Chain A
Amino acid sequence: MATETALEAQAGTSGGTPHGTPFGVAKGETGFRHWSALRNAAILLVVWEVLGRFKLVAGGALPAPTDVIIRFWSDRGDYPLHILATFQGASLGFLIGNGLAILAGILFAVSPVAARLGRGLNVAIFALPPIAISPILVLTFSGMTPRVVLAALGCYFVTMSATVTGISQTDRRMLDVVRAYGGTRLALLRLVEIRAALPAILAGLRIAAPAAVLGSILAEFGGGGRFGLGAYLIGSLGRADPARLWGIGLAATAMALIAYGIFALIEARLTRSTRAVTVAATPPGIRSEGSLVSTIAITLASIALPFIVWWLLLKILGTPAMIAKTPAGVFDYLFLAPSATSAQTRLLAALGQTLPMTLIGMAAGLAFAFALALASVVRPGIVRSFMPVALVTQTMPLVALTPLLVLLLGRGPSVILWITISVTFFPAFVTLAQGLGMVSRGALDVVRAYGASPFTQLRLVSIPASLPYLFAAMRLAVPRALLGVMIAEWLATGTGLGNLLNQSRGYLDYGMIWTVAVVSVLISVLFYQIVIVIERHVLRKRGMQPAA
Chain B
Amino acid sequence: MHLSLNRRHFMGLMGAAATMPMMGRMASAATPFNFQASWINDAEFAGYFLAADKGYYKEAGLELEYLSGGPDVIPESSIIAGKADLTLTTPDTTIKAIVEQGAPFKIIGAQYQKNPIGIVSLAKNPIKQPKDLIGKTLAVPPVNVISVEAMLKISGIDRAQVNIVPYAYDPTPLIKGEIDASVDFTTNVPFTIKQAGEEATSFLLYDFGFTIFNDTVVVTEEVLKAKRKEIVAFLKASRKGWEENLADPAAFPKTFADTWFKGTGRSIENEVYFNTAQKPLMENPKGIFFMSEEAIAANIEALAAVGITAKREYFDTTVLEEV
Contacts of A234 in B (CB 8 A): 40, 70-72, 169
Complex: how many Å from CA A234 to CA B264?
10
Which of B168, B172, B189, B263 touches A81 (beta carbons < 8 Å)? B263
Contact with B along A70-89 (1 / 0, CB 8 A): 00000100100110000000
Contact B67 A224 (CB under 8 A): yes
Chain A residue nearest in CB terms to B188: A238
Decide if B74 is an interface residue (CB 8 Å cutoff): yes
Contact A508 B81 (CB under 8 A): no
Chain A residue nearest in CB terms to B141: A506
Query: Which of A6-14, A24-32, A497-505, A527-535 forms part of the interface with chain B?
Result: A497-505
Chain A proximity of B80: nearest CB distance (Å): 5
Tell me the residues in window 80-94 of chain B with beta carbons closer than 8 Å to chain A beta carbons: 80-83, 93-94
State the interface size on chain A (CB cutoff 8 A): 62
Contacts of B72 in A (CB 8 A): 135, 138, 221-224, 234, 505
Contact B165 A58 (CB under 8 A): no
Contact B93 A226 (CB under 8 A): no
Chain B residue nearest in CB terms to A320: B80
Pick the most buried of B73, B168, B172: most chain A CB atoms within 10 A of its CB: B172
Chain B proximity of A258: nearest CB distance (Å): 21
Contacts of B172 in A (CB 8 A): 61, 240, 242, 403, 407
- A225-B68, A234-B40, A320-B80 as given contacts; A403 in contact with B173, CB under 8 Å: yes
Chain A proximity of B79: nearest CB distance (Å): 10
- A145-B2, A232-B263, A322-B101 as given contacts; A494 in contact with B73, CB under 8 Å: no
Contacts of A160 in B (CB 8 A): none
Complex: how many Å from CA A491 to CA B178?
14
Contact A81 B1 (CB under 8 A): no
- A222-B73, A508-B96 as given contacts; A322 in contact with B103, CB under 8 Å: yes
Which of B101, B168, B175, B177 touches A237 (beta carbons < 8 Å)? B168
Which of A232, A235, A240, A503 touches B175 (beta carbons < 8 Å)? A240
Decide if A411 is an interface residue (CB 8 Å cutoff): yes
Decide if B4 is an interface residue (CB 8 Å cutoff): yes
Complex: how many Å from CA A490 to CA B165?
10
State the interface size on chain B (CB cutoff 8 A): 59
Tell me the residues in window 1-47 of chain B with beta carbons closer than 8 Å to chain A beta carbons: 1-4, 7, 40-41
Contact A235 B40 (CB under 8 A): yes
Query: Which of B124-132, B142-150, B310-318 forms part of the interface with chain A?
Result: B142-150
Complex: how many Å from CA A221 to CA B169?
13
Contact A143 B4 (CB under 8 A): yes
Complex: how many Å from CA A221 to CA B74?
12
Chain B proximity of A237: nearest CB distance (Å): 4
Decide if B262 is an interface residue (CB 8 Å cutoff): yes
Contact B166 A502 (CB under 8 A): yes
- A142-B4, A494-B165 as given contacts; A235 in contact with B81, CB under 8 Å: no
Pick the most buried of A78, A142, A224, A510: most chain B CB atoms within 10 A of its CB: A224
Contact B166 A319 (CB under 8 A): no
Chain A residue nearest in CB terms to B4: A143
Contact B93 A507 (CB under 8 A): yes
Contact with B along A53-70 (1 / 0, CB 8 A): 000001111000000000
Chain A proximity of B176: nearest CB distance (Å): 5
Complex: how many Å from CA A499 to CA B71?
15
Contact A508 B4 (CB under 8 A): no
Contacts of A226 in B (CB 8 A): 40-41, 68, 263-264
Chain A proximity of B189: nearest CB distance (Å): 7
Contacts of B170 in A (CB 8 A): 237-240, 245, 402-403
Complex: how many Å from CA A382 to CA B246?
61
Contacts of B103 in A (CB 8 A): 322, 508
Contact B169 A237 (CB under 8 A): yes
Complex: how many Å from CA A403 to CA B67?
29
Contact A491 B77 (CB under 8 A): no
Chain A proximity of B126: nearest CB distance (Å): 18
Contact with A along B177-204 (1 / 0, CB 8 A): 1100000100011001101100000000
Contact A78 B263 (CB under 8 A): yes
Tell me the residues in window 209-243 of chain A with beta carbons closer than 8 Å to chain B beta carbons: 221-227, 231-232, 234-240, 242
Contacts of B80 in A (CB 8 A): 320, 322-323
Contact B100 A339 (CB under 8 A): yes
- A145-B3, A491-B166 as given contacts; A503 in contact with B265, CB under 8 Å: no
Decide if A244 is an interface residue (CB 8 Å cutoff): yes
Decide if B229 is an interface residue (CB 8 Å cutoff): no
Decide if B116 is an interface residue (CB 8 Å cutoff): no
- A323-B77, A507-B96 as given contacts; A236 in contact with B142, CB under 8 Å: no
Contacts of A81 in B (CB 8 A): 262-263
Contacts of B41 in A (CB 8 A): 226
Contacts of A180 in B (CB 8 A): none
Decide if A368 is an interface residue (CB 8 Å cutoff): no
Contacts of A145 in B (CB 8 A): 1-4
Chain A residue nearest in CB terms to B184: A238
Contact with A along B42-81 (1 / 0, CB 8 A): 0000000000000000000000000111111110110011
Contacts of A223 in B (CB 8 A): 72-73
Complex: how many Å from CA A383 to CA B193?
40
Complex: how many Å from CA A234 to CA B164?
21
Contacts of A141 in B (CB 8 A): 1, 4
Decide if B171 is an interface residue (CB 8 Å cutoff): yes
Contacts of B96 in A (CB 8 A): 507-508
Which of B4, B171, B192, B264 touches A235 (beta carbons < 8 Å)? B264
Chain B residue nearest in CB terms to A490: B166
Chain B residue nearest in CB terms to A322: B80
- A237-B71, A322-B101, A507-B93 as given contacts; A491 in contact with B266, CB under 8 Å: no
Contact A506 B263 (CB under 8 A): no
Chain A proximity of B151: nearest CB distance (Å): 15
Decide if A139 is an interface residue (CB 8 Å cutoff): yes
Q: Which 5 A-B pairs have the closest CB atoms?
A: A143-B4, A222-B72, A403-B172, A506-B142, A506-B143
Given contacts A139-B74, A323-B80, 10 further A-B contacts (CB under 8 A): A92-B3, A139-B77, A143-B7, A222-B73, A226-B263, A339-B100, A491-B166, A507-B96, A507-B145, A508-B77
| Chain A contact residues, CB within 8 Å of chain B | 58-61, 75, 78, 81-82, 92, 135, 138-139, 141-145, 148, 221-227, 231-232, 234-240, 242, 244-245, 317, 319-320, 322-323, 339, 399, 402-403, 406-407, 411, 490-494, 499, 502-503, 505-508, 510
10 contacts between A and B (CB under 8 A): A78-B264, A145-B3, A222-B72, A223-B73, A240-B172, A244-B265, A403-B168, A403-B176, A407-B176, A506-B145
